[in-house]
Amino acid sequence: MKMPFSMPDEFASGWIKAGFNFWRSLPLSNDTHSTRKTLTQASADYWRQQAALYTSVFTGMTGMKSASQPVIEAPQGDRRFNADDWSSNGWYSLVKQNYLINARMLEDMVEASTLVDKEKHKLRFYTRQFIDLASPTNCAATNPDVIRHAIESSGTSLVSGATRLLEDMKDGCISITDRGAFEVGRSVAASEGSVVFENELFQLIQYTPLTATVAQRPLLIVPPCINKFYILDLQPDNSFVRFACEQGLTVFLVSWRNPDESMSHTLWDDYVESGVMKAIEVSRSITRVDKVNALGWCVGGTLLSSALAVMRANGDNTVASATLLTALLDFSEPGDLGVFIDEAGVSMREHTIGRGGLYPGRELGFVFQTLRANDLIWPYVVNNYLKGKTPAAFDLLYWNADTTNLPGPMYAWYLRNMYLENNLRVPNRLTMCGTPVDLGRIDIPAYLLATEEDHIVPWRSAYQSTQLLGGQTEFVLGASGHIAGVINPASKNKRSYWTGGVPGGDAEQWLEGATRQTGSWWNHWIRWIKQHAGDDVKARTTLGNAKHKPIEPAPGRYVKVRAS
């Protein structure tokens, strides 16, 4: 039985591999001169900074206050050391700077190692995990905020923190938001609509029109099956679903079922055929149109592209355009997620759950948290357990904690054929639903959004989709990351995005020629999608049709099932 707070197998084994690779890669007698020079320089920098630090502290110390400029500063955007004590108090300044100097030395040693790029990426990732873990902010005895809270509360903050730790250990996860602050269907996922179709894989939601007229062709949204769909429908002011409806689109959305044991033998092909392709068919049937526009986010974009490749190979042209949001089709550079993927790990998954079983959503959720540990793990360890605070109510983090399981066969196939072997990009190498697939056959217009700071789908990798799809592509680069870069409401008009770069195989060349636009990419996308949405028609007063009658109000039952 898996113990509470235990790490996924990929993550635990990664720590061991990282340590082995580090010592294996240290320069030996036959290493190059440049490697030796790099390591020598790193060592010299380390001892120089240490000497400067201790000289500064002990010569400038007056009442334990540091009087000189720091030897090293935390990286820009690092909020761990924002408290005044980290700079005004000589002891805490010493602790902080000593930590940062040691962290820098470890990073320099990694860069000086002789590993190949992929192995060095893994070593870099796991070294960063160790550095983040070892931060003095994570220890009660070396965190001035924690000590102050304990004194001011007469120790009750420590008692509250211990209580929260025991509660989270019982639940098997770290609380990152107030779980009672939101309710699916009321405070989030509250856009009005009806479930108009369901099968064993998904429910199809049709949303109520918000305009007197709508575009003739509807929009079908395919969200990732590794998360709940309502990231696209959090609250009215940041709901992409509501925005699309307000702009005169008829919106259908796939709400994937949270798999239980009855789905333990479900395949990738099932998600393609009985999921995406079925949703396209039903959406067309209800609206009685020739074509629909389809949008897929993350894994939803990979599933949508797979379905379109099958459909086009079979002569089906019932999709007018495709929008892919932070989605990978070429997995040659998968970012930090790639550190978890190797032949041994994938084979283990195939052996344990590849022929039947479930991959727990909490394990997958923890993997994603480790990609941003200083945002999604350690701040909550400090606030929840060391300070005894209740996590803030934040809709996006509530969604992030609402995990979903995955069918083992589907997950194992996805790992091998996408992340490990990168087969989807090769024409006709994969067969789905009995049909060899070639992304080049997808000859419809495509809108491709990537985000600048995406740690799950690196934007340069997402750009490669422009070279794989057979139709005209519009590539857009948004600011921020995988979630915040997509959920950038038009009404707030924040951030920026880049458009109009020179088409071609080089992402950097595209960026050099691109133009920065202020505000949300939503406004740019809605102008693009309306070119493919047909004429305006009178909005439908009833949802569904005679064959597909409303089953229940949105958001439906499936999205409310929590992973066990």
136 and 200 part of one domain: no
pLDDT for res 296: 98
Q: What is the number of domains present in the chain?
A: 2
Whether residue 173 is contained in a domain is answered as no
Q: Record the tokens describing residue 354, joined without a space.
A: 């590849």
What mean pLDDT do residues 524-535 have? 97
135 and 237 part of one domain: no
* Catalytic-labelled residue, pool 225, 245, 298, 433: 298
What mean pLDDT do residues 287-314 have? 97
Is the model's pLDDT at 301 over the cut of 70?
A: yes
96 and 216 part of one domain: no
d(CA 271, CA 223): 12
pLDDT more than 70, % of the chain: 92
Encode 280-299: b = buried (16+ Cβ within 10 Å), e = exposed. Answer: bebbbebbebebbbbbbbbb
Whether residue 388 is contained in a domain is answered as no
Amino acid identity of 118? K
Using an 8 Å Cβ cutoff, are 334 and 320 in contact?
Answer: no
254 and 138 part of one domain: no
E strands, 135-242, in order: 193-198, 202-207, 213-215, 219-222
208 and 326 part of one domain: yes
Least Cα distance to 258 among 224, 231, 286, 211 occurs for 224
Q: Which helix (H) or strand (E) holds 485?
A: none
Q: Record the tokens describing residue 80, joined without a space.
A: 């761990």
Residue 199: pLDDT band with limits 50, 70, 90:
very high
d(CA 189, CA 208): 13
Residue 66: pLDDT band with limits 50, 70, 90:
very low
- Give the structural domain span for 308: 193-337+424-560
112 and 212 part of one domain: no
Whether residue 453 is contained in a domain is answered as yes
119 and 210 part of one domain: no
* Greater pLDDT, 6 or 221: 221
206 and 79 part of one domain: no
Integer-rounded Cα radius of gyration of the chain:
26
pLDDT for res 161: 95
Last residue of a domain, one of 143, 158, 173: 143
**pLDDT tens, position by position, 328-372:** 999 999 988 999 999 999 999 999 999 999 999 988 888 888 988
Least Cα distance to 383 among 229, 174, 75, 76 occurs for 174
Whether residue 41 is contained in a domain is answered as yes
- CATH number for the domain that contains residue 206: 3.40.50.1820
198 and 324 part of one domain: yes
205 and 133 part of one domain: no
Active-site residue flag, 225: no
Tokens 């509360």 identify what position? 153
